[in-house]
Structure 1
Amino acid sequence: MSYLKTTGIVIKEVNTGEADRIVTIFSKNKGKISASAKGARRPKSHLVAGTQLLCYSEFVLFKGKDMYSVTSCDVIEPFYDIRSDLERLTYAAHMMEMVNDVIFENQPATRLLQLFLNSLYMLTKTDKSPLQIVRIFEFRLLSIIGYAPWVSGCTECGSTLFDSMYFSFLKCGFLCGGCLAKDKGAIRISEGAAKALNYIVYSKMNNLFSFEVSENVLDELGRVSRRYMRDRLEKNYNKLDFIKNINGVKC
């Protein structure tokens, strides 16, 4: 018999049968894992807590012929405050959708798992702007999977004068005013937005969330991230439209 012991977070759940559940786990050891949790929807099941969406647990999985089965799970962090708050859950769902799209089975992605867990922690344990947390997550995720924008200076001449930068989707990074002829469709960004992008892409993980930006800078980051994500991942991510519809936040 083959067993796997791993920590991981549930990023998708599908109810099956009368009381069963199939979960997708973003695991430390194996990347994305699909596993059957028999009886997990029964109130007295020992699997009921650890197989819920966004629960970070230590799992023991049995490898069957077609998929893993959850033998046991011990909850490390339930992220209950996210699951019980519709707005926070929407931000988390947006991040989960991106994670689901870029991770694969049998391909560990420990840096991305750390980013996801840290982002969820910031979302539930701090009063930092949820939208800022999400913007940081978006750009850092793209950087981790190989789509980091060039934001250390102008992609053409190397200028590091952040007060005169444009973001070029054609060049995948900054263009200064003097090099704007290389992409006349580039959009002007403020010095604050340019510095924020530079920090998000290049800072160490343990310092990633240790800065604040204005609402105007967040708007600029959102304008860049929406199109940059669509271009790189070939998909429109629209879950945050729900936040915009209920409270008018620009996402």
Structure 2
Amino acid sequence: MREQVILTGMVIKSAPAGEYDRRLVILTCERGKITAFARGARRPGSTLMAASAPFVFGTFALYEGRDAYSLVSVDVQNYFREITEDMEAACYGSYFLEFADYYGRENLEAVETLKLLYQSLRALLKSAIPNRLVRAVFELKLMEINGEYMEKPLGRLEDSTIYTWEYVLASPVEKLYTFTVTEKVLEEFTKCVAENKRRFVDKTFHSLDILDVLVYK
């Protein structure tokens, strides 16, 4: 009989599969990005229904198959329901999931990425920190974790902008969302992060299309 594996992670994608199942992509600490099927999750009353949604974070019990896992149960630690109930936060959060999916790899530990994702989603719920700043910090730190970043931002910038860049690169994930900046520094910082992203990331993120219309219009 196959043994269960227990993995800590977050659902970053969820889609219908067949008549009653859901196909999940889960970013896990121990095995990176995995695909799992939640059998019967779309049946009324299924214990897997609520746990098969994006943003769900917890401990997943699974059976490992040849090409995918089968989900048995989930000990949910956070549903992040507040994000799904806020249009703007949901747009940012969906983008964070998509960006994390871009860098996710199978059988490659994703401890730092998962910590960053979790803390960034929590930061979206803090009214004291602008979502634009949360986004820029998330982007730069995720690129730094994956080795795709400039050590110094380009151009003539405010000293505070350069300091913000250096702080994000040097700080542990737990310390990232403990500051705010002036509007001018935020503008410079977001532009520098966008330039870094243009240099290193060759992908169009569909969730950004929605975000740009709803938030940046």
Q: Tell whether the structures are fold-level matches, with TM greater than 0.5.
A: yes
Moved more, 69-78 or 190-199: 190-199
> What displacement does 1:193 show?
1.2
Counterpart CA distance in 2 for 1:194 and 1:53 is 34
> What displacement does 1:230 show?
2.1
Counterpart CA distance in 1 for 2:96 and 2:103 is 11
Counterpart CA distance in 2 for 1:246 and 1:105 is 33
Matched, 1:134 2:102: no
Residue equivalent to 2:158: 190
Residue equivalent to 1:154: none
Matched, 1:123 2:91: no
Residue equivalent to 1:11: 12
Residue equivalent to 1:228: 196
Q: How does 1:138-217 map to 2 (within 5 A)?
A: 138-151=139-152, 167-168=153-154, 187-217=155-185
Q: TM-score, normalised by structure 1?
A: 0.80
Cα 1:27–1:234 shift into 2, 3 Å: same
Give deviations 1:61-112, integer Å, cap 9, x for gaps. 0112331000111211000011122211110111111111111011111011
CA contact (8 A) 2:88 2:215 kept: no
The SS at the match of 1:197 is: helix
Q: How does 1:22-61 map to 2 (within 5 A)?
A: 22-61=23-62
Counterpart CA distance in 1 for 2:206 and 2:38 is 30
Counterpart CA distance in 2 for 1:239 and 1:227 is 19
> What displacement does 1:56 show?
0.5
CA contact (8 A) 1:61 1:72 kept: yes
Aligned AA for 2:66? K
Matched, 1:246 2:214: yes
Counterpart CA distance in 2 for 1:66 and 1:147 is 30
Q: TM-score, normalised by structure 2?
A: 0.92
Cα 1:241–1:220 shift into 2, 3 Å: farther
Aligned AA for 2:214? I
CA contact (8 A) 1:49 1:75 kept: no
In structure 1, the gaps of 5 or more residues are: 152-166, 169-186
Counterpart CA distance in 1 for 2:206 and 2:20 is 31
Total equivalences in the alignment: 216
Give deviations 1:187-234, integer Å, cap 9, x for gaps. 322222111111111123322111111222222122122221121122
Counterpart CA distance in 2 for 1:147 and 1:247 is 27
Matched, 1:94 2:95: yes
Aligned AA for 2:167? Y
CA contact (8 A) 1:6 1:59 kept: yes
In structure 2, the gaps of 5 or more residues are: none
> What displacement does 1:125 show?
4.8
